[in-house]
A and B are shown apart, each in its own frame.
Chain A
Amino acid sequence: MGSKRTTIYVCMGTSCDARKSRRLQEAFSRALKDKGLHDEIDVSATSCLGYCDEGPNILIEPENLMYHNLNEEDVPFFIEEHFIKGNRLENYILAPGNGELKIPDMTDINFFKHQRLVVLRNRGRLEPDSIDEYIAMDGYAALSKVLEEYTPESIIVEIIDSGLRGRGGAGFPTGRKWQICRNAPGNEKYIVCNADEGDPGAFMDRSILESDPHAVIEGMIIGARAIGANQGFVYIRDEYPLAVQRIKKAIQQAEDYGLLGDHILGSDFSFTLKIVRGAGAFVCGEETALLASIEGKVGRPRQRPPFPVIKGLWRKPTNINNVETWANVPHIIRNGAKWFSNIGTAKSKGTKIFSLVGKVTNTGLVEVPMGITLREVIFDIGAGIPGDKKFKAVQIGGPSGGCLPDKMLDIPIDYDQLVQAGAMMGSGGLIVMDETTCMVDLAKYFTKFLYEESCGKCWSCREGLRRMLEILTKITEGKAKEEDLDTLRDLAEMTKYASMCGLGQTAANPVLSTLKYFEKEYILHVRYKRCPAKVCKALINFYVIPERCTGCMRCVAACPTGAITGPRSEPHNIDQSKCIKCRACYEICKFNAIEDVIVDAIVIK
């Protein structure tokens, strides 16, 4: 937050940090001093702007202009042009996609236009390491409102009225959970923030903790007040060093300001918050395993009931919510339940943050209202699939979510609709896949991930996944028979129904959803020994189609084993005995002259 005429915000999210945004910030400070502009223009570090694909990003306020891809060396020139001469540097202005707008405001950019910011409203506007900036943005106002105007019961009523549901995946109504925990017998109660985000390709919770740690803390204090807990834990994975560092600092600052500790803001309410760092087991995201881990035991789930809200940490009532759920709480209190429940669909209220990754033009962090369709997220915000490739599927809900095909893209994002479609909301990973992804190979990848991350207690989960992996490997190697698909279904059913915890019960989803929507691809693999996406090496043989080949020699240069020969301007030839099926020629050919057997000709009944 700048107090000067103009502020340059430099993104300090993990992605931009890795692209040397810190040096960029220093370069700006130096250059401004050199030009004597440092009294007028402020340089400030800020949290993730979400547009991670194009980092390091900078935002110039109050013009609301986003620049990207700036180098340290460009900075003096940039300041000269932009601030002294008043020229907009079009090369660096972020105008993804069509580039129709010559001088786009941040809100004109498609990536930002369709988003609705609630939890991420402070992104790009404040320095995450500063509690003062958070307070200046109405931070902790909800807390003082709660302590002055609300009884614990009325907080719960407010949360129930808002319709907030858990953002960790299952979507249990948050207010009801709080109520059960409040009414559970026992004097000592705990609350826990689950920040053990382990899905491949997901970074929502990390981003919230990195960009707005105080919102999570404020939400937790309010929750503790409502539930009657005096001790809270943030279970955060140690793989997120920046997030750990920021939440640590934020807790320290809140303690210094009297917002945590004894007699918060002069009231009779006391609450302390501790950080527990997780060692990186995916299964510890499951609530009972997480509690075991906090207690110092092996992170292994146990039977529910008793649910943690009745008997949790050290057998005391414990309320566990996800980072995003906690971060929603202050906004609901400040703006009212009605405001919140106006966003979203009938049964799913508010907004949801997704990390949009994979084969999509604009990758990054997006916050959208519930009820938006997947098509809008992928094609309007994400600007579709790069290149001339076709959309194939989107994996929603992390490794144990499901893969939805093109025809399911128009369903609104909503807890119940997604479950009906065979996927789940999960914590909010969206992995987009184009036609070059083999669905069997994908199911194999996720099954392997889950097998390695399963705690191994239940036979159905551990062995079910191992046997499924065995069959999937056989399929991708072309050794499977058609009966194996039935076995695969039986194993998936066993894993889904017989396992104890949420991990096992959803672990078959990658297999089940790909079998449901992409059965044709399985049959092509099994019956015809072909991989239409040309991924499974054992099932592909690349040939040159002589009519299309212009003899440009590009593939000859690309081939690492020298399998392709042929004089210039004449059709080339691939020596199958030397070919290692690395796809280099296939991907480099501009004329589609390198092909496997054309699978479209195969008709499956």
Chain B
Amino acid sequence: MIKFKLNGLEVQVEEGTTLLEAAHFYGFPVPTLCYHEGLSNWGGCRLCIVELKQGNQSRIVSSCTYLAQNDLNVFTNSEKVVKIRKTIIETMLATVPTSKIVQDLASKYGVHRVRVAVENKDCLLCGLCTRMCIEQMDGKAIGLVGRGDSLKITTAFDKRSDTCRLCGGCIYICPACQIRCIGPNIEKDGPICNACANLEPPCLDQFENMMCYMDPCVACEIGTEKPVKSKL
């Protein structure tokens, strides 16, 4: 057992437990975005940051990737952490203002203004869909490609992937866009799901055995006169 201090409380967890799991276990709320119980820990969104204090020194780490160690002194909601978390949510909100999940986070953490230019992107590059595809669906169809400004989520060589079974796992887990299923080469290869992009849902009308996890399916409701229940 590992013993450490969590928000001043003496706690103990089993070896191999992350700080996030420990905090959730002891009932301390820590916001997350790129974290999912069924997937490997990534540490990309940085929302789950916590402060480790040791004497006068302090260090901020992402709790989802940091394993609990003996004699840590962890603060999940220190002043510094809250301030930085708010800046993170603010920039997220500016980048993907339409995401319900980010809107909820903003509302919960009191982010009422956006000081940077508002964009209308549909991806946070949190990597949830790629991990979903690789780890849960055994698809290995999409991945993070490039670095820095050219980082994007796409299939290998931007070609329609043979291993993609149109399972929709990526759409299901996406916190922002729910349209990454367009596929990289829509003109040539045709849509993979394409629902939100052209408001014509690829429901059972068009694809046999199509599984759409969107609930409710915006496209179905707006796009056609006769809504089709797309969920099997």
Chain A residues in the interface with B (C-beta under 8 A): 281, 283, 298-299, 302-303, 305, 451-460, 462-464, 466-467, 470-471, 483-484, 487, 490-491, 493-494, 497-500
Contacts and interface: CB of A to CB of B under 8 A. Distances in A.
Contacts of B46: 458-460, 498-500
B84 A497 contact: yes
Nearest to B44: A457
Interface in B35-82: 42-46, 49, 60-62, 65-67, 69, 80
Contacts of A500: 43, 46, 61-62, 65
B147 A303 contact: no
A501 B57 CA distance: 18
A281 B147 contact: yes
Contacts of A281: 147
Given A303-B43, A305-B67, A460-B46, A455 B117 contact: no
B148 interface: yes
Given A305-B67, A456-B146, A462 B151 contact: yes
A457 B60 CA distance: 16
Contacts of B124: 459
A493 B65 contact: no
5 contacts: A457-B44, A458-B46, A471-B116, A497-B49, A500-B61
Interface string B210-231: 0000000000000000000000
Interface in B73-111: 80, 83-84, 87-88, 91-92, 94-95
B204 interface: no
Contacts of A487: 115-116
Interface magnitude class on chain B:
35 or more
Most buried by A among B67, B88, B95, B126: B88
Given A454-B147, A459-B44, A303 B88 contact: no
Contact of B95 (A452, A455, A463): A463
A283 B22 CA distance: 31
Nearest to B80: A497
Given A455-B147, A455-B148, A456-B144, 8 more contacts: A299-B147, A303-B66, A456-B151, A459-B125, A490-B87, A493-B83, A498-B49, A500-B65
B149 interface: yes
Contacts of B45: 459
Contact of B43 (A305, A454, A456, A458): A458
Contacts of A467: 91, 94, 116
Contact of B148 (A302, A452, A494, A497): A452
Contacts of B66: 303, 305
Contacts of A493: 83-84, 87
A464 B117 CA distance: 13
A477 to B, nearest CB: 13
Contact of B92 (A283, A459, A466): A459
Nearest to B124: A459
Most buried by A among B46, B61, B94: B46
B80 A462 contact: no
B200 to A, nearest CB: 33
Contact of B88 (A283, A302, A459, A470): A459
Interface of B: 42-46, 49, 60-62, 65-67, 69, 80, 83-84, 87-88, 91-92, 94-95, 115-117, 124-127, 144, 146-149, 151
Contacts of A499: 46
B69 A305 contact: yes
Nearest to B143: A298
Most buried by B among A460, A464, A467: A460
Contacts of B43: 303, 457-458, 500
A190 B115 CA distance: 48
A452 B116 contact: no
B125 A462 contact: yes
A301 to B, nearest CB: 10
Given A452-B148, A458-B44, A498 B84 contact: yes
B67 A494 contact: no
Contacts of B92: 459, 463
B147 A453 contact: yes
Contacts of A298: 144
A457 B125 CA distance: 8
B174 to A, nearest CB: 15
Given A283-B147, A451-B149, A462-B151, A494 B115 contact: no
A453 B117 CA distance: 23
B148 A464 contact: no
Given A459-B44, A500-B65, A454 B115 contact: no
A453 B87 CA distance: 22
B65 A303 contact: yes
A452 B148 CA distance: 4
Contacts of B95: 463
Given A456-B144, A491-B87, A470 B116 contact: yes
A299 B151 CA distance: 13
A537 B94 CA distance: 29
A491 B95 CA distance: 14
Given A281-B147, A462-B125, A303 B61 contact: yes
Contacts of A283: 147
Most buried by A among B91, B144, B147, B149: B147
Nearest to B49: A498
A303 B125 contact: no
Contacts of B61: 303, 500
Contacts of A497: 49, 60, 80, 84
A235 B126 CA distance: 29
Contact of A491 (B60, B91, B125, B149): B91
B151 A470 contact: no
Nearest to B146: A456
B177 to A, nearest CB: 15
B39 to A, nearest CB: 15
B80 to A, nearest CB: 7
Contacts of B115: 483-484, 487, 490
A467 B147 CA distance: 16
Nearest to B60: A497
